[in-house]
Amino acid sequence: MKLGNEPPDHAIGRSRGGLTSKLHMATDGKGRMLSAVLTAGNINDTTMMAATLEQIRVPRKGRGRPRTRPDRVLADKGYTSRANRIWLADRGIKATIPEKSDQEANRKRKGSAGGRPPAFDSEAYKGRNVVERGFNRLKNWRGLAMRSDKTARNYLAAVQLAASLVWLKASFSNTP
């Protein structure tokens, strides 16, 4: 049986592990989801950082526009790129993203023409596990962990429902 191309609304693409999808998520300091973007598994993480961060809308207490920019972004090596660092710097967002070893080697090989190494705060990066814990909370729902929904719309709706339940649980309990 031959598998044809997946329709674009399924957000399924071929990667090393077969047909997969990726969930790109921004969380607050307690691991609660602020925004999410679903892509096919063969889409590069680096290209999705701006799209994920642009969806953040945190209402303010009282009057005023919702907050749309975080103070700092903690991301893994999948999101490191010069374009992402420039995009964050243009918006006044501090970036704590480790540099990939091949990028570091290329920069060092160029010598002084390679530029300065990007700033990296190892103490701040210790807080990145909060993002992983946020993913783990969502993956407690079996349907999310296994991606049992066919269309991306239904899967993303399930992710948002699970994230809403995580927010509700956190607001009614003392633990984060």
Q: And the tokens for 49?
A: 């950082």
Specify the number of domains making up the chain: 1
Rounded to whole angstroms, the Cα distance separating 121 from 127 reads: 11
In-domain check, residue 51: yes
The residue that leads in pLDDT, 169 or 116, is: 169
In-domain check, residue 131: yes
Q: What would you measure as the largest C-alpha separation in the chain, in angstroms?
A: 58
In-domain check, residue 158: yes
In-domain check, residue 64: yes
Considering the chain, what is the average pLDDT of its residues? 86
Domain of 97 in residue numbering reads as 8-172
Res. 1 pLDDT band, cuts 50 70 90:
very low
In-domain check, residue 82: yes
Q: Is the pLDDT of residue 8 over 70?
A: no
In-domain check, residue 22: yes
In-domain check, residue 52: yes
Residue type at position 95: A
- The pTM score is 0.81
Residue spans of beta strands (DSSP E) within 72-162: 72-74, 94-96
Q: Is the pLDDT of residue 4 over 70?
A: no
pLDDT of residue 163: 93
Non-local (6+) Cβ contacts of 93 within 8 A are: 53, 69, 70, 71, 72, 73
pLDDT of residue 5: 61
In-domain check, residue 47: yes
Res. 84 pLDDT band, cuts 50 70 90:
very high
Pairing of strands 18-27, 72-74: unpaired
Rounded to whole angstroms, the Cα distance separating 6 from 167 reads: 33
CA separation, residue 114 to residues 102, 119, 153 (Å): 13, 15, 43
Q: And the tokens for 93?
A: 């967002």
